[in-house]
Structures are given as C-alpha cells and as structure tokens.
Amino acid sequence: MATRGILSLRFNQDHGCFSCAMDGGLRIYNTEPLAEKLRLDKDELGSVAQVEMLHRTNLIAIVGGGVMPKFAENTVLIWDDAKKKFVLELTFPSFVLAVRLRRDKIIVVLRTRIFVYSFPQNPQKLFTLDTRPNPRCLCEVSPGSDNQLLVFPGRKQGSIQLADLANTEPATSSSPVTINAHQTDIACLAVNQEGTLVATASVKGTLIRVFDTTTRKLLVELRRGADPATLYCINFSNDSAYLCASSDKGTVHIFALKDTSLNRRSTFSKMGFLGQYVESQWGLANFTVPAESACACAFGPQTSVIAVCVDGTFHKYVFTPDGNCNRESYDEYLEIGDDDEF
C-alpha cells in the first residue's frame, strides 16, 4: 500500500510528532503546527522500513528495508540526532518487523518472537516472549511510567497477551495474561497512555473492542461498520476520552469512551460471543481521506484528529460532542521544508 516511496508512518508516544520511513530515507514532522523537524536522506541511511521515535528526544530507532536498504533488515539501529551518528546496533536471527521504545526499554518484534532490552544505557536483554506468527508486527507498549504494559497477539487465534515489563529480572518475567478478544486473527492494537485500556480489532474489521487491562473485562464494543475492512490504525486520545480508527474504506471514525452516550446506538442489541448482551455503539463522528490510502490517525490538541496518509497528505479535523466534524487543515507534508527546531 506504499505510495510515493513511503513504507510506514507512525506517531510518537504523545502524538505530537510523526515519523515517515521511506525508500528515500526518513523524515520526522511536528503535527501542530505541521513542520518538518528532521530529514535523513538515502545517501545516509539507504531506504528505511521503520522509524520509531522516543517521545521528542534525540534517540530514534531505525530498521532498513525497501528498495535500497543500506543496513540489514535484521538489525535495529539507534540514531542519536544530537551526535548525528548511530550509537547502538542490535542484530537478530531474522527480519525485524517492528520496534517500540519506552524511556527505559527497547522492544523488538520478529515474526514469532519479541525481545525486550533495557535502554538506553548499555542495553541488556531482559527476556524474550514467543508469539503466534505475527506478520502484521502487532505490538504496543504503554508510554506512562506507572504501568509498563506490553500487548501483543496471543497464542490462540483472536487473543491478545498482556505482559508486565516492570518484572525485568532476566528470565524471571511473569507469565503474560491472555484476553480472548475476537474469534478471528487480531489485525490492530492500541494501548492508552496509562496502560489501563487496550483496544483490539480483528481481520474482519467491523468491531473494535476496548478492555480494562486490570480486570480484563470488555468495557465497550464499538462498531466501525457493517462491511469487513482492513484497519490500519487505532489510537486513544491522551486523556482516554476518545478513540479513533482508520481503515481501507478511507474513513476515520471517532468514538467517545468516557461519555459513551455521545456515540450513536444501533437499533438492536445482539448476543456477543463473550456471553453477554453487548450493544454495538457506532461512531460519534467520522471523516474521509483519499479512498484506500492507508493512514495513521491520532488525536491532536483539543478535539481534533490528525490523519497522515501514505499518499503524502495531512488532514486535521475538529469534531464536536454532537457529532459535527469539520476539516481545519489539509497539507502535503512531503512538500514541506525544514522548519525551526523542536
């Protein structure tokens, strides 16, 4: 689904920035206001498959890939933008599918295994977790300091596992807890800032389920639509009051979580497969980006949602509690030049 040479897009932990991994290197943008903050071209990096920021720090994780990779695709490199050089290299037995960063951990996702290291000083391998085949490289970690929650697909189809990264003595991690979230394979995951909520969608893409990570209970079932779809991205707002989701239908849906009475209700309640009556809630608001253009979505300041698409377009919409949703800005972020520092 990559266009214009963009291989992946990802927001940082507070959604204030997003990174763009490209056949032509990498770029990092500030979202509000939209401005380019860093550009490393292919002569420095080759083509880049993945970029993961660590908040707004100078440390950036990079994985090569694409048409002209300069670095092996089984290697994670940490770029220190203050020193303008690579300061760490970790090599793995197979292709690296994803990297996630916390201020104290680096998590590396392979097809059937996840490695957890201490970070950033003198990284040590803390433990590894075996997973079912995870070609969608699904793995999220809560950025907050209190709850160090790692979420990834469970061994059983449609399940997720929750691991507490606070148990970091090598080889003594507590067993991950399992939640049976869907009947078909998990396609998309999100964790809120505090690590208290997790959202899941399956390959069917019609429902998003939100679970309490402590009680493991289903809190709310959100309906994206009636037709199957491929979900690209789910994100919580920083205060966990709202959730947004993007799919290959070209529509970004916004749901209320704190005040679910704002969501539209279906006229019928159905028996959920989890054994209780679950009333599907439809989105509070939605907007459309270029059809079938994959995009990452996240919440901006106040009640705004940002969508950044692989066709190079940037969309900002503002929504109201009564469901109005209006475009506030549109841009082509690849055309934006360098701006001030952070």
Tens digit of pLDDT for each residue in 176-198? 899 999 999 999 999 999 999 99
Strand ranges of the sheet holding 75-80, from the earlier edge strand across to the other edge = 46-53, 59-69, 75-80, 85-91
Residue 166 has pLDDT above 90, yes or no: no
Q: Which two three-digit tokens encode residue 267?
A: 């006229």
In sequence order, what are the beta bridge partners of 11? 18
9/278: higher pLDDT: 9
Of 212 and 171, the structure prediction assigns the larger pLDDT to 212
Instruction: Please give the pLDDT value at position 342.
Output: 41
Pick 52 or 3 by higher pLDDT.
Answer: 52
pLDDT at 317: 98
Q: Is residue 258 part of a domain?
A: yes
Distance between CA atoms of residues 313 and 309, nearest Å: 5
Q: Which residues of 236-251 are buried (b: 16+ CB within 10 A; e: fewer)?
A: bbbeeebbbbbbbbbb
Cβ(76)–Cβ(108) under 8 Å?
A: yes
Higher pLDDT, 1 or 232: 232
| Per-residue model confidence as pLDDT tens digits over 204-246 | 999 999 999 999 999 999 999 889 999 999 999 999 999 999 9
Q: Inform me whether the pLDDT recorded for 332 exceeds 60.
A: yes
Total domains, the chain: 1
Is residue 105 very low, low, confident or very high in pLDDT (cuts 50, 70, 90)?
very high
Whether residue 90 is contained in a domain is answered as no
Q: Is residue 168 part of a domain?
A: no
pLDDT band of 277, cuts 50, 70, 90: very low
| Residue in 225, 246, 222, 236 with CA at minimum distance from that of residue 315 | 246
CA 38 to chain centre: 21
Is residue 269 domain-resident? yes
Q: pLDDT value at position 145?
A: 77
Q: What is the CATH number of the domain that holds 190?
A: 2.130.10.10
> Partners of 152 in the beta sheet?
161
Query: Does any domain span residue 316?
Result: yes
Average pLDDT for the chain: 91
**Is residue 246 included in any domain, yes or no?**
yes
DSSP designation for 260: G
- Residue 270: pLDDT band by 50, 70, 90 thresholds? low
Is the sign of the CA dihedral 56, 72, 64, 134 positive or negative? negative
CB atoms within 10 A of CB 335: 8
Mean local confidence (pLDDT), 129-143: 94
pLDDT grade for 247, boundaries at 50, 70 and 90: very high
pLDDT at 61 over 80: yes
Is residue 44 one of the residues assigned to a domain? no
Q: Do 17 and 37 contact (CB within 8 A), yes or no? A: yes
- Residue 267: which residues within 8 A CB-CB, separation 6 or more? none
Contact 174, 144 (CB under 8 A): no
> What is the structure's pLDDT at 171?
54
- Answer for the pair 189, 140: CB distance below 8 angstroms, yes or no: yes
Q: Could you tell me the residue range of the domain that residue 206 belongs to? A: 181-342
Q: Give me the pLDDT at residue 146, please.
A: 81
